[in-house]
Structure 1
Amino acid sequence: MILIFSTISFFQEMRINGAATNNGQHSKRWYETPQLSYLKIGYLFIIGCLFMIMNCKYKNCHKLGKYCNFFYPEYKLWTFCSIIQPFLILLSQIIEGVPNSEEKKGGEAISIILLFIQVAQFYIIYIYLKSCWKPVSQQFFSLYRNKWGIFDSARFTYYATRIFGILFLEIIIFAAFNLLIQNFLTNSKSSTPSNGTENQNQIVGKLNNIKQGQEIGRFIFTVITLIIISPFIEEIIYRKVTLKTTNFNWKTIFTSSIIFSLSHINVTKETIFHLWPYLLGGFTYALTYKYFKNIWVGILTHSLHNLITLIIVLWKIFNPHSVNTIATNTII
């Protein structure tokens, strides 16, 4: 809802002001209040609650109860990511709005909450993998080993070509849609994904610190997170957990793609045009998992996508006067 308001306001600014947000800024919009911005994470909380209600309601049913018990690790992981984590993020946002006299205290509380979220997320992922490590590891080894555990070059070549093919097709489609949007919104490039989403701009800001020789440790952690941690966690949560428990239902595929895309943008500052790159990526990875029934194909494709984007971003940081290409519009 907020995203729709943002998009409508964007076109109103184009009509009234000619070229809206040319300098990267926009006027205060009526719905940009702290209370409404909390709705950004509300959808995750609602879906998580429905997920929990379903588990509690049917766990005593012989047929569905057996189903729920089989997928219990998935339910537990989703409960944390869609109920507990959004609640803690919401709490940190509320604390962030404390009076100036409590600013230092509020900042410390926010840091503690965010640290707890990170630690808890890694812990819950660890618990999930501990209970499901055998099938997850078997899927990884199946990318290059036969049923006897011996390296199979044909199998390795098959999956490698598919992964790079999916990645290439995703980038081509993304670039084509991005050029279409740029041509449609010729006077407002700053409000389209071509100038980066809020999520990407934050990442670029962290990476840009390396140019001044600052925060080397944080830069290294950011790189590791982009290439390894984020693709793995996001594919587990948004694809493996949601799609596996619904037997790859098409409604779930679309829903998981929407949830994935909404979690990457700021709905009070961005428009629908910032949503579609992540929607495209989420839908691509969901179809990949549905087709191959191997979560590692999506993880590796996602990781390579982020790696290519990282290389492009670093190139632009160290070569600010270089000519932009279509590839520079790839979004993390």
Structure 2
Amino acid sequence: MSTSNTTISHPAAFILSGIPGLDSSQFWLAIPFCTVYIVSLLGNITLLFIIRTESSLHTPMYLFLSLLAMNDIILPTSSIPTMLGIYWFNAQEITFNACLAQMYFVHTFSGFESGILSAMAIDRYIAICHPLRYTTILSNSRIAKIGVVIALRPIGIVIIHPFLLNRLSYCKTNVIPHSYCEFMAVAQLSCSDLTVTSAYGLTAITLIIGLDVTLITLSYILILKTILNLPSTGKRLKAFSTCGSHVCVILLSYSPALFSFLMLRFAKNAPKYIQPILANVYLFCPPMLNPFVYGVRTKQIRKKVLCVIRWKKFKDETPREL
């Protein structure tokens, strides 16, 4: 681990320590993270293939789910090479510019995911509260515009992060107690005044996560109000069922991020390995679990997977002609 005792504008490189306090276990910890990543890739690629080939899934909800699956492929991919390099090959060094680039991609695609979840909540609101106008409101052109907004918002907001970090002076240390470059983890290495940097970080979270959580909450309040006014229990259960998958995905996505954020900013006396582990869980577990949630709860996806499995089994059992 290297440190610097003199004030410098930019260190040539940062040292990513991985998971502080668990140095001897990091080699073995990489195995489950790598396994989760591979399962995530296979699950999301399968989900994309099924949605593309199953015409009954060519609806707004599953178009948004396709965007979520693509994002769930890219987000962990932005950090897994760095993490495995640290855990398996002790390759802890990352250049200053590469660190800023990785930080930008991680936070931008995290913003994409949050935006997609809020769009899916609005989709469920329209489907349940305005079912007769569903296809009219969510036309292909409107879905395209929503997709553009989802993409441009984090790109525009997070682009300020590298410039804020670039203007700081780093004199404390160049060791980041993390497995990848994260905005506040890098900023806290600076000896400069962090008032503006910290304020913008909170502003960015508010404009992305805060706004999305507000939209999701309002959507589900209106959905709940509509469901409770339905005349029969069967219709209520069916309406709840259409939202079940999305609610599960929301909880899976936001819970680790919330705990990670709170740990970084407020739990100063917590064990040092907790926050990096939570940050890793946030990047890898939701992308792996999302395809399973929709696979188990969506009849068309489940049926398509079973058909593929049965076809493969039939081909394997069919004797080949000599």
Same fold (TM over 0.5): no
TM-score by length of 2: 0.36
Larger Rg: 2
Larger RCO (CA within 8 A; separation ≥ 6): 2
